[in-house]
Structure 1
Amino acid sequence: MKEPVALRGRAEAEAARLPPLLARAEHLAGTVLLGDHGRRRAGLGDDFWQYRPVQPGDPLRSIDWRRSARGDDRFVRQREWQIAQSVMLWVDQSASMRFTSDKGLPDKGERARLIALATAILLVRGGERVGLTGTLLPPRRGNNQVLRLAEFFTRDSGEDYGVPEHRAMIPNARALFVSDFLGNVDQLKLALTKAADRGVRGVLFQVLDPSEEAFPFQGRTIFESMGGGLRHETLKAGDLRDRYRARLAERKEELSQLCLRSGWQFQTHHTDASAQSALLWIYRALDRGTG
């Protein structure tokens, strides 16, 4: 009898987290004024985009004779591309993402979930299909899909560091991976290799606590991973600062080069910075990847 009671307690605790997360994401998405989601690409659709001069190879039926009659040049009327894009999300929910150096700051996982869900809301409003990498939640449209994503994002993993899901990559889709990317990068390399093979382009968005960038530690310090799997004690933490910063810079450069080779984009965000600016950067980066 204890097990069902405990399960119900955990379920209620998770459910209690859902409305605040969804409300914050809705509010954040509402602060980014993007208007209609114009992909600004010529293609199949009903909405007028622009006129352009006739080019060699254009069929005569594509010429807009009414616009062309205004002068000596001939113009083609282009319509905006309106085929829905599939966007796959992976948000690191491992123990390392639960770190924060200050009670006044959100932990990395909270910021990652907020930004990812707000991105999903914007994309769904624009008519795109959004889901998770892997097979748990394939990309779909609609507000119900946002609710499913919000529910999934309330779950935590017991692993020290997250491993990107790379199964069932949809060919020519877009993807957003959000993590601190401080664990082993081999699985990330595998995921981006598979993504590139399938024509998937996207964004690696690294979320760090400010202390992980500055390394403000001095004297005797015990460093322990959030999952308890790693532990290191030192009497002179300040002596490690330069080496730590160099290693972090190397990791960022490795991630940046990995993205460059895969056709992805990379950005680092700190939890003391604006979530709104992060959301806007991600949205524009995903939109640039659709050209």
Structure 2
Amino acid sequence: MTRLRPRAEALADPLPPLLARARHLAAGIVLGEHGRRRPGLGDAFWQFRPAQPGDPARAIDWRRSARSDQHFVQEKEWQAAQAVMFWVDRAASMRFASGKGLETKAERAALIALATAILLVNGGERVGLSETEAPPMRGPLQLERIAAALAEPGAPDYGAPHLATLPRHARAVFLSDFLGPLDPVEAALTTAADRGVTGALLQVLDPAEEGFPYGGRTVFQSVGGSVAHETRQAGDLKARYLDRLAERKARLDELARRTGWQYHLHHTGDAPSSALLWLYRALEGRI
């Protein structure tokens, strides 16, 4: 028991800061009450609409209709909770940061994912991680579970989406640098589309990965150490590298559009609030 406590405390250490930062980030996004903005089952008033042939008499709002020459029906806003599943890449490549003042890509992706989950849970949605067997749930305990899972590092150099739990007709978010092979990403998007799942791809890159500020003799090595390349003229590689990166971003955008998803690029040098707002609106279908 005495040996278990230090391990438990070490495991819990990353949780309060991550949750606190995510809650602070979510609190800065003013969205109003979460809603689906279409009629359906629910308790919240949405709008009045003119009565149509076939509407039963009990559906008529007689108080509103008394102020007009026509009959009106009161519609409620659809409020059935949906599931939103997250895949947050925690592979070795995500642990890269080019400067002391920058977060790693993994830290930024985890922050944005958890802040998005907080906004969704506050709105009554169920959230979960797609690589786990646990079903999506709501509530503060579920947010703590997600934060705990996001604190665990991955092993491979590059990650690929996991879809162990992906309910049909849910929504999903994949956050990654997407610098590994794209075939698994395409396969995951195809599987998701076959299940009626729509969502968003958020590519998280370090500014150095976008700008390639290298010259002279340089050794490029993957964070996991499985790939290394040494050159005496790094500047000569810049044009080819930027072309390859542009091709990769274009393919991600094309894959997203082809499967009914949306794609967005975020740099760790930018404010996370911009990516959070884009992601939330993308999930609500407002982009």
Query: What range is the shorter-chain TM-score in?
Result: over 0.9
**Of 141, 144, 149, which residue of structure 2 is paired with 1:147?**
144
CA deviation after TM superposition for structure 1 residue 66, in Å: 2.5
**Of 1, 12, 18, which residue of structure 2 is paired with 1:21?**
18
Counterpart of 2:197 in structure 1 is 200
Counterpart of 1:271 in structure 2 is 268
Flag the 1:57–1:233 CA change in 2: closer, same or farther, 3 A.
farther
Q: CA contact under 8 A between 2:134 and 2:165: conserved in structure 1?
A: no
* CA distance in 1 between partners of 2:230 and 2:138 (Å): 49
* CA distance in 2 between partners of 1:121 and 1:19 (Å): 14
What are the Cα deviations for residues 108-164 of structure 1, in whole angstroms up to 9, with x where unaligned? 000000000111111111111001103333200111000100100100011100110
Counterpart of 2:166 in structure 1 is 169
Q: Provide the secondary structure at the position in 2 that maps to 1:90.
A: strand
CA deviation after TM superposition for structure 1 residue 276, in Å: 1.1
| TM-score, scaled relative to structure 2 | 0.94
Aligned-partner residue type, residue 29 of structure 1:
A
Counterpart of 2:34 in structure 1 is 37
Counterpart of 2:221 in structure 1 is 224
* CA distance in 2 between partners of 1:7 and 1:242 (Å): 52
**Of 81, 106, 109, which residue of structure 2 is paired with 1:109?**
106
Aligned-partner residue type, residue 201 of structure 2:
L
Flag the 1:114–1:240 CA change in 2: closer, same or farther, 3 A.
same
Q: CA contact under 8 A between 2:135 and 2:165: conserved in structure 1?
A: no
Aligned-partner residue type, residue 178 of structure 2:
F
> Relative to structure 2, which stretch is displaced further, 165-174 or 10-19?
10-19
What are the Cα deviations for residues 166-186 of structure 1, in whole angstroms up to 9, with x where unaligned? 233200000011000010011
* CA distance in 1 between partners of 2:17 and 2:205 (Å): 22
CA deviation after TM superposition for structure 1 residue 261, in Å: 0.9
* CA distance in 2 between partners of 1:244 and 1:155 (Å): 31
Flag the 1:90–1:53 CA change in 2: closer, same or farther, 3 A.
same
Q: 1:96 aligned to 2:96?
A: no
CA deviation after TM superposition for structure 1 residue 73, in Å: 3.3
* CA distance in 2 between partners of 1:60 and 1:258 (Å): 48
Q: RMSD of the alignment, in Å?
A: 2.0
CA deviation after TM superposition for structure 1 residue 59, in Å: 4.5
> Relative to structure 2, which stretch is displaced further, 257-266 or 32-41?
32-41
Counterpart of 2:232 in structure 1 is 235
Task: Provide structure 1 residue ranges, at least 5 long, that are not aligned to the other structure.
Answer: none
Q: CA contact under 8 A between 2:133 and 2:165: conserved in structure 1?
A: no
**Of 105, 124, 137, which residue of structure 1 is paired with 2:134?**
137
**Of 47, 51, 60, which residue of structure 2 is paired with 1:50?**
47
Counterpart of 1:72 in structure 2 is 69
> Relative to structure 2, which stretch is displaced further, 47-56 or 5-14?
5-14
Q: 1:288 aligned to 2:251?
A: no
What is the aligned length?
Answer: 287
Task: Provide structure 2 residue ranges, at least 5 long, that are not aligned to the other structure.
Answer: none
Flag the 1:16–1:236 CA change in 2: closer, same or farther, 3 A.
same
| TM-score, scaled relative to structure 1 | 0.93
